Amino acid sequence: MTPQVTLLGTTFAARVTGIDLRRVPDERSHAWIEETLARYGVLSFGPQHIGDPQQEALIKLFGPPFKANFKEIATGHPHFYDITTVDEDGAPIVTDSPRGLTLLANAQWHTDGSQLQPPTRVSALHARVLPPVPPPTEYADMRAAWDALPPRKQHEAEKLSVVHSIAWSREQIGFTDISAESLLLRPPVMHPLVRTNPLTGRKSLYLASHASHPMNWPVHEGRAYIRELVAHATQPEFVYSHAWSTNELVMWDDRWTMHRATPYDAPHPRMLRWCGAVELEPV
C-alpha cells in the first residue's frame, strides 16, 4: 500500500496512512519517513498495534536511542519513559511527588532532550491507554516562527548560543528536589539558537523550557529574551493541537518543533510510551 499524507495543521503536522510499523521499515521506507518528517515536522501514524520491540526498532532507524536514565521517571527499560497518570500498580501518580512534578513539566513548551549534548533529534510517542476524551498535545512550528521574525531579530538570533539546563526548566514549576544523580547526568549544555535542517535547508528557532539564556548574557536579561521568543513561537498561527486516538504513534522532529501536554485531571488512566533518537554529533 502506498503511503498517503494529509496535512493536519496550517503550516506543518500530517497524518500518514498506508504504513504498518509492526514491520521494521526497509531502507526505502525509512528514507521516505525521514523526508516526510523533514517536511511536516510532526507525523501521526495510527492505529499501530505495536509493542516495545517494534517501537524501539523504529526509533533506532533515526539514530542512537535516547538513554532513559532520569531517575524520577525511570521505567526499568533503558530507552523508554512512560508519560502516564498512573504508576505500575495502577494507582494515580501524586502530583507533588518527584515523578508527578517531572511529568507536570511536560506542560511547559519544550523540545525533548535539549538539556543534553548531543540532544534528541526525533521523538516517538505511542498511545497505549487513553481516557474517553484524551487531552490533546500541542505542537509549535519554530520554522514558521523563524520566518515571521523581522530581519533585525533574525540577524541577532543567528549569532547566539543558548544555555539549556534541566534545573532551570524544573525550577519554573517549583521542582527543586531533583536527585543529585539526575543533575550529574545532565549538566548545563549550549546549543545554537538557530538551526538549519540538513534535508530542507530551512532555518528554525531552537527553543525549549530548558533554554535559560544566551551565553555571555546577564541571566535575568537573557531569560526575558528567551521568554519573548517562546511567546512569539507559540502564537496560535504557529500551533497545531493534536487529538489522540488509541494505539496511535506520533513522531516529531525535535530540531524545529516544540510541544507541550495540556491539562488532564479526569479519573480515567492515560498511558503513553516515549522513546527518542539522539543526534549523531553535538550541536
Between 183 and 126, residue with greater pLDDT:
126
What is this structure's pTM?
0.94
Span 129-185, pLDDT tens digits:
999 999 999 999 999 999 999 999 999 999 999 999 999 998 898 887 777 777 777
**CA end-to-end span of the chain, whole Å?**
37
With a CB cutoff of 8 Å and minimum separation 6, the contacts of 125 are 83, 137, 249, 250, 251, 272, 273, 274
Given this model, what pLDDT does residue 2 score? 81
Given this model, what pLDDT does residue 1 score? 61
- When the pLDDT of each residue in the chain is averaged and rounded to a whole number, the result is 93
Please give the Cα distance from 238 to 265 (Å, whole number). Answer: 27
CATH of domain 4-278: 3.60.130.10
pLDDT at residue 72 tops 80: no
Given this model, what pLDDT does residue 71 score? 67
pLDDT bin (cut points 50, 70, 90) of residue 54 is very high
State the DSSP string of 78-95: TT-EEEESB-TTSPBPPT
Given this model, what pLDDT does residue 46 score? 86
User: Which residue in 242, 72, 75 sits closest to 173, CA to CA?
Assistant: 72
Given this model, what pLDDT does residue 225 score? 98
pLDDT at residue 34 tops 90: yes
Span 179-232, pLDDT tens digits:
777 777 789 999 999 999 999 999 999 999 999 999 999 999 999 999 999 999
All structural domains of the chain with their residue ranges: 4-278
